[in-house]
Structure 1
């Protein structure tokens, strides 16, 4: 009689033991036990990544994480931040969680794709969007979307991200935005994709320290600034001699009176600032611009009115320097003003000078007095 031997699969005590532990943990409800359960499932997912069991384990993982306490989700986010095997649904869920939990995966997770990051720009909070803008190696598609949305703090974060793939067109738009957003200027001056042509444009909007930084990189000097100023202006009407233009009584008298009262009120309160000049132009309030310039410099309205309509920009330049306008800001001011006046003040016949405000004020008044004699 022959003996029958029954063959049994070889036991896997370590795997069985680990599984038994996880099963036991599912019956418990304490935060520590749930954290151990999640970490155990995470280890199991990592060890089975790529096989047929992985998707099912991923679904279990997502279901468990959705019910986990805040501290557990934070620990999970930090552990999975750089895990290529992590379930995409779980990473996207964590990316939409509160920002402290979301930040590690937004910043580092290789699982997040451009479509996921674009979704965060649309659906998530501003803090999430900033984290997206700071993500290392950010793609051109997402960088373009950030610039297109035009959110100031997100664009500033993007400008500070030296590894982002920012196109020249997007960088040009950021430089244009730096005219109104001072926070963009410093990171843009240091940006590795800044070229000489863009540096010349940026040079007009930054302060002295940043101009020096740009000059050291691209050898830009004040002569280039002068050229940029003249090129930026519209090709305006030219005339043979300089002559003051009187204020027409037909111009909106009520509007001018209203603006004059506003300027006087701000001046009395100590709140009259050069920045109101740019604001007035952007709001298409030419009378307010002239009244503000007069109030800041102690000039007459006739003087500022004449400077705005002069055949060259020299008197206006001197008046602006006299009241504290940075000469790097003057090009943008001039362009905006010419849009409102049909090209005035005219082009040519002036250069950016190094006069201090008191000297510029004296030079401006001297021109006004001479013009009155003509």
Structure 2
């Protein structure tokens, strides 16, 4: 390398030149014109100025664009071409509008959230009075940090579809569940679905808050039971609705066809090993669908067993028999009741029969007919993992049972 080259290599690169002060002044003046009240500028003049300002902003520095955005944020109505440009800009530029501009339209916000960063979407989720349509679009992006921000915003409006999508998202982001439980938009059907992947404490909260009585429904339709029963299979829709309301959980008509004399006998027979045949018979006598039973028997927490036994009017001992039949540990090394079983017994003692029936029938009803594809997919995900704890014969039986619905 010659001396000239060595000298050249030691020369530091020139710092970028600051933009001329006159350009900053020009940008400010154009922004001032756009901000003029309607009695001083007409719509065409404002649009023409906005077009010119957009052309200059495309090549302006971030600092210059940020200053213009801050100036425009106070307007009640910002020209569309400027909104689209600045909302999709880098976060320092877009922040002024997303935080301070009160009159951005749903169309502006949706265009931004589909074409900007996660942090842009989080700022949108923080805005006052986020509409249902914008909230739905944010949820559809599937970003837990953005959904968390939405749930913490008490001024956001969540649609039924939006809540269902968030419920499905909580399977992989369980920390969202307590936030969702705070929302007034959450319905029992949502909570009972979320129950399947919630932790023990949240399950207890769901049963305490959403396990409601059906007494008012029974009083309203008490005189309809006999006419619907007389019509038999002619009106299956009414029979299905009344089945949800009825105070009797067990399928008493199934006793005559069962090899067992009662539901208690079937459970006792399964205490030494819950085979597929015995499990199906228990479900038949308890008036449950196969998919519901599969979810109950393969649930790792065990709380659904307490709900089943309480809803069917079974004694506490039946919980332990089912527990034993599923090869679960009953006592710990010290000989005391296993912590998981103790927790399940507390649930059994806590929930009333009528309210346990409500939960059980919501599960039975929703798992077979009332869920959207997203929620049904969320429930079925992880099913193989759930039954993986059991022995090979038990696992095969439970998986077959869980798929009976598909046939």
Residue of structure 2 equivalent to 1:47: 36
Structure 2 counterparts to residues 92-171 of structure 1, below 5 A: 92-110=84-102, 112-171=104-163
Counterpart for residue 37 of structure 1: 26
CA distance in 2, matches of 1:223, 1:186: 14
Contact 2:84 2:112 in 1 (8 A): no
Specify whether residues 224 and 103 from structure 1 end up closer, same or farther in structure 2 by C-alpha distance, changes over 3 A only: same
Deviation at 1:164, TM superposition (A): 1.7
Secondary structure of 2:36's partner? helix
1:246–1:171 distance in 2 versus 1, CA, 3 Å: closer
Q: Deviation per CA, 1:156-185, whole angstroms, max 9, x where unpaired? A: 222222222211332243234324312312
1:1-80 correspondence to structure 2 within 5 Å? 30-47=19-36, 49=38, 50-51=41-42, 52-80=44-72
The alpha-carbon deviation at position 33 of structure 1 amounts to: 3.5
Cα contact 1:107–1:135 (8 A) shared by 2? yes
Q: Write the distance in 1 (CA, Å) between the matches of 2:129 and 2:322.
A: 46
Partner in structure 1 of residue 8 of structure 2:
none
* Pairing 1:240–2:265 present: yes
Matched, 1:314 2:338: no
Deviation at 1:106, TM superposition (A): 2.8
Q: Which residue of 2 aligns with 1:355?
A: none
Contact in 2 for aligned 1:162/1:192 (Cα 8 Å):
no
Q: Is the 8 A contact 2:188 2:210 kept in 1?
A: no
Q: What per-residue deviation string (whole Å, max 9, x for no partner) do you get for residues 240-280 of structure 1?
A: 243556699xxxxxxxxxxxxxxxxxxxxxxxxxxxxxxxx
What secondary structure is seen at the aligned counterpart in 2 of 1:53? Answer: helix
Answer whether contact 1:48 1:54 (CA < 8 A) is retained. no
Offset of residue 89 of structure 1? 0.9
Aligned to 2:315: none
CA distance in 2, matches of 1:43, 1:324: 68
Q: CA distance change for structure 1 residues 40 and 95 in 2, over 3 Å: closer, same or farther?
A: same
Distance in 1 between residues matched to 2:62 and 2:203, nearest whole Å:
44
Structure 1 unmatched runs, 5+: 1-27, 215-219, 249-280, 294-309, 345-374
> Is the Cα–Cα contact under 8 Å of residues 70 and 96 in structure 2 kept in the other structure?
yes
**Quick check: 2:83–2:108 contact (8 Å CA) kept in 1?**
no
TM-score (norm 2): 0.47
* Alignment-derived partner of residue 252 in structure 1: none
Say which one has the larger Rg.
1
In proportion to residue count, which structure has more helix? 2
CA contact (8 A) 2:54 2:82 kept: yes
Q: TM-score, normalised by structure 1?
A: 0.51
Q: Which has the higher contact order (CA 8 A, sep 6+)?
A: 2
The correspondence of residues 222-301 of structure 1 with structure 2, limited to 5 A, is 224=211, 240-241=265-266, 242-243=268-269
Q: Give, in whole Å, the separation in 2 of the partners of 1:149 and 1:136.
A: 20
Is the Cα–Cα contact under 8 Å of residues 99 and 128 in structure 1 kept in the other structure? yes
On the 8 A contact 2:31/2:53 being kept in 1, the answer is yes
**CA positional deviation for 1:53:** 1.9
